[in-house]
Structure 1
């Protein structure tokens, strides 16, 4: 389950995928930087999609051994003792906890707004530190505590989406060593023995009893509740394995299982990652590592923010606004956009798009910079806008790759590409040309997270060993970079970086008032 949709599928231990279902979910944007989703809607959409996945493959239903959930993360849900939600889910986009995080992390001597001794301790124990933007689990907890004290007091636990879904499936509230990472309250120095740390809890002012108990990433949570198994059409002894962040499962589903095998994802958001054997952090560029879905390993956390959402925003706001009677709806709007982009030469006639519609996350913690089209003229067409968005997301990924490669100390000779964006051959080729390296597309890019979650479940059940996983991810096609576009994209990439440096002060001035807005009650 991502930010905008739920997907369900049946996945075999050989990597075969059947009966994929998709359901939309909505986000409510609120004054003062609020962004919320409805956990009841999540649960309804998950049940609906899962029922249809099982019903769509009646010959396979009796073979289902386990259910695995992988979801968006740094999203916080207050639940009761049975896992029922008591209020809204605070999205990873929500910044309303920012002032309270700043209060928690400050002190003297100060380093970039953090007390030096606190920053050292957070990095040593967790591999990072709370974001002063409030866009992480601790920011959301502090928002509940200070602005929704009624919900804070009533909540049995605060959990992440995958752990919320697992609680609805089993009636058991728990989290894995990996899923509580974005709260900056756990000691992750040993990925096989992660625990809440009393000093971090004390600094944050969060009681440990408000947080779920932790279990190993490769453990079984329990069987499905009988009524859930009946509703989904599954055997009553079907088990639920511990959930995972989408970045955890994506690494496995992309086939990036060995250390330093790089991949990137483009869906609503984008990131680049790989498995690594150690804990490391680079706070200047917002890079860190977190316990992986494979026990005893770490995975790079480099979440870049909005990507495919930029194309969706262009479609809904400018090109094909839903409900506008003057615009004929396209049968397949994304195929239509793809065809438009293909009609424009590489470089979009030097039209640049900066994709920071929700600010810059990695490699710069900058929530105030925004997106723009640069160098428009009277010759600019809708096709130019579409291709420029696709190229802008690719330039942003190139910016991220530079810092990820420095972080891991390796150069990626090629990259695997998954997510909805990878379905487009054109976008795959644009990434190959902009990044200047071969792009490998797995056979099931749109549901690679589901494949990865399933493979992690098979490891937890003892059906597969971790070293078997990479070979079970088939590569559908490899896109080679086009030498003729190299100089053009190198030049435009340089202008892309220059645009960020030169426009950043302007955006900070324009958005200064927004920083001072009163927090939503």
Structure 2
């Protein structure tokens, strides 16, 4: 076979659901399908999903992709996944999940992590000696909010001891999907990252550290073997191959967590070339040639899918899920007041509403902290809100305010990012579902005062990145060759008058955080209150 007739079955499993694409080596997505996955909120502070739901969504979406594509099954040479990260699945020796997955949004483990901190001297809430070791070896530290596997595993150990006793391995989402595909228990250098048990000082030799494992409070044998993102970890299991109609010789490449795959799928391989992802969560990331950590700003550079490189990541908890919240919990909430349900056109209509509203939402401001925040402050008690509504406002005002508020939140972490990189990005590639919105790209350009690059099919950047990782793992194409296939369709240059207006409005956004944070803490840390 020639390269032009080879395809990667690419998985993009996010919080909202599973997307599957059939991607050529040229980066063309020739078939595409999506299946939603339910998010389960537990006591308003926990977030879970059923691992079986991920798998069922993958199988169903893949069958659709293969049924609508004219690509011969023999031309599909590999499967490679990009998934949501910082989530935890406890599995037994047979690979069966023992409970729902604890997601990256889940904060129930915060107290369990706090109980392990100890130490008399604290820095930013951490035991000073432990923090120094985490930063030196890992490049970061467990999230005090509880939103990563370091806390999830402690939650399971302490609150679900019968599950913990039966747990053979703790897996991230990517690791679970690879287990179901190949039968192999393994973790990649980026999926293991936020367990905070690996020595990451050499990006080409990530390895477990016995001292960090002892600090974690979790037995060594419950962690899976480590592989590189570009490693071929096996071939697809015979029963999976039969379900999908693929050859049992189809290779499975380890793949990467979403932010690492996205950095490749966005075409941003060069050092300091930033991408902005706007999906359920939101982040800005860029490959960098160094390992560095800023604890106070919650920004670090971490192992990634690109050999010998690190990825700077500044992660925020809520992005386009603010629009989903507006759609599902406000506009179409099933409470009997208004009959109806969202359609395939709903997001397009919301986009049109935002575009026709005046800049500044007629004075209304939205704070997008639905589930707390991580960067530039790690504060699980922040919550969303609409500020300065008046009788002249309506639902259209709120729509525009939400679009702008999410962009202000990204602006909030731009100064820390500039300090971290020691340079200001002049252009940023915007990807994810949010990047499909022309008006949102325009708002981001003006709020951030940078050129926004909108690539072709920005929703499919993660899947494209996974495909490029798969092709590299098979030796079919180098990553630098792959990213040259990414096409930028439109550039949004900042408008000087809009930049000046948003500069003033961002000052108010900052002041609202400063003044309201103590009130959020007073309300949301009250005895007996469940954070919601």
- TM-score normalised by the chain length of structure 1: 0.97
Which of the residues 275, 283, 286 maps onto 1:263? 275
Please state whether the residue corresponding to 1:513 is helix, strand or coil: coil
How far apart, CA to CA, are the structure 2 residues paired with 1:425 and 1:112?
39
How far apart, CA to CA, are the structure 2 residues paired with 1:104 and 1:408?
32
Which of the residues 396, 403, 412 maps onto 1:383? 396
Matched, 1:476 2:489: yes
Matched, 1:304 2:316: yes
Please state whether the residue corresponding to 1:358 is helix, strand or coil: coil
Please state whether the residue corresponding to 2:272 is helix, strand or coil: coil
State the 1:40 CA deviation.
0.9
State the 1:93 CA deviation.
1.1
* Contact 1:419 1:448 (C-alpha < 8 Å) held by counterparts: yes
How far apart, CA to CA, are the structure 1 residues paired with 2:381 and 2:337?
35
Deviations 1:117-174 (A, max 9, x none): 1111110000111122111111000011111111111111000011101100111111
Per the alignment, residue 410 of structure 2 pairs with 397
Per the alignment, residue 3 of structure 2 pairs with none
Please state whether the residue corresponding to 1:406 is helix, strand or coil: helix
Please state whether the residue corresponding to 2:191 is helix, strand or coil: coil
How far apart, CA to CA, are the structure 1 residues paired with 2:115 and 2:530?
16
Deviations 1:81-115 (A, max 9, x none): 33221211001111111112112223022223322
Closer/same/farther in 2, CA of residues 373 and 508 from structure 1, 3 Å limit: same
State the 1:358 CA deviation.
0.6
Alignment of 1:343-358 (within 5 A): 343-358=356-371
Please state whether the residue corresponding to 2:484 is helix, strand or coil: helix
State the 1:469 CA deviation.
2.7
Per the alignment, residue 369 of structure 1 pairs with 382
How far apart, CA to CA, are the structure 1 residues paired with 2:298 and 2:452?
25
Matched, 1:98 2:101: no
Per the alignment, residue 473 of structure 2 pairs with 460
More deviation, 179-188/462-471: 462-471
Per the alignment, residue 30 of structure 2 pairs with 18
* Contact 2:83 2:257 (C-alpha < 8 Å) held by counterparts: yes
Alpha-carbon RMSD across the aligned residues, in angstroms, is 1.5
Which of the residues 157, 169, 174 maps onto 2:169? 157
Closer/same/farther in 2, CA of residues 58 and 470 from structure 1, 3 Å limit: closer
How far apart, CA to CA, are the structure 2 residues paired with 1:491 and 1:343?
22
How far apart, CA to CA, are the structure 2 residues paired with 1:437 and 1:193?
36
* Contact 1:191 1:296 (C-alpha < 8 Å) held by counterparts: yes
Unpaired segments of 5 or more residues in structure 2?
1-12
Matched, 1:79 2:91: yes
* Contact 1:82 1:173 (C-alpha < 8 Å) held by counterparts: no
Per the alignment, residue 444 of structure 1 pairs with 457
How far apart, CA to CA, are the structure 1 residues paired with 2:428 and 2:521?
34
Unpaired segments of 5 or more residues in structure 1?
none
How far apart, CA to CA, are the structure 2 residues paired with 1:123 and 1:189?
10
Per the alignment, residue 513 of structure 2 pairs with 500
How far apart, CA to CA, are the structure 1 residues paired with 2:298 and 2:438?
31
* Contact 1:82 1:167 (C-alpha < 8 Å) held by counterparts: no
Alignment of 1:205-224 (within 5 A): 205-224=217-236
* Contact 1:84 1:168 (C-alpha < 8 Å) held by counterparts: no
Alignment of 1:499-518 (within 5 A): 499-513=512-526
Per the alignment, residue 182 of structure 2 pairs with 170
Per the alignment, residue 417 of structure 1 pairs with 430
* Contact 1:106 1:113 (C-alpha < 8 Å) held by counterparts: no
Which of the residues 133, 143, 151 maps onto 2:155? 143
How far apart, CA to CA, are the structure 2 residues paired with 1:52 and 1:322?
30
How far apart, CA to CA, are the structure 2 residues paired with 1:78 and 1:243?
20
How far apart, CA to CA, are the structure 2 residues paired with 1:327 and 1:483?
43
How far apart, CA to CA, are the structure 2 residues paired with 1:517 and 1:123?
33
Matched, 1:431 2:431: no
Deviations 1:272-316 (A, max 9, x none): 010011111101011111111112211112110111111111122
How far apart, CA to CA, are the structure 1 residues paired with 2:101 and 2:397?
37
Per the alignment, residue 7 of structure 2 pairs with none
Per the alignment, residue 317 of structure 1 pairs with 329
Please state whether the residue corresponding to 1:68 is helix, strand or coil: strand
Matched, 1:275 2:287: yes
Alignment of 1:290-301 (within 5 A): 290-301=302-313
How far apart, CA to CA, are the structure 1 residues paired with 2:520 and 2:530?
20
Per the alignment, residue 40 of structure 2 pairs with 28
How far apart, CA to CA, are the structure 1 residues paired with 2:120 and 2:139?
21
Closer/same/farther in 2, CA of residues 32 and 99 from structure 1, 3 Å limit: farther
* Contact 1:340 1:382 (C-alpha < 8 Å) held by counterparts: no
How far apart, CA to CA, are the structure 1 residues paired with 2:322 and 2:166?
38
Which of the residues 325, 335, 341 maps onto 2:354? 341
Matched, 1:198 2:210: yes
Please state whether the residue corresponding to 1:373 is helix, strand or coil: strand
More deviation, 403-412/163-172: 403-412
More deviation, 385-394/74-83: 74-83
Matched, 1:360 2:373: yes
Please state whether the residue corresponding to 1:271 is helix, strand or coil: strand
State the 1:19 CA deviation.
1.2
Please state whether the residue corresponding to 1:369 is helix, strand or coil: coil
- TM-score normalised by the chain length of structure 2: 0.95
* Contact 1:86 1:151 (C-alpha < 8 Å) held by counterparts: yes
More deviation, 60-69/372-381: 60-69
Per the alignment, residue 132 of structure 2 pairs with 120
User: Which portions of structure 1, spanning 4 or more consecutive aligned residues, are displaced by more than 3 angstroms?
Assistant: 322-325, 327-331, 516-519
Per the alignment, residue 240 of structure 1 pairs with 252
* Contact 2:45 2:530 (C-alpha < 8 Å) held by counterparts: no
Please state whether the residue corresponding to 1:48 is helix, strand or coil: helix
Please state whether the residue corresponding to 2:397 is helix, strand or coil: helix
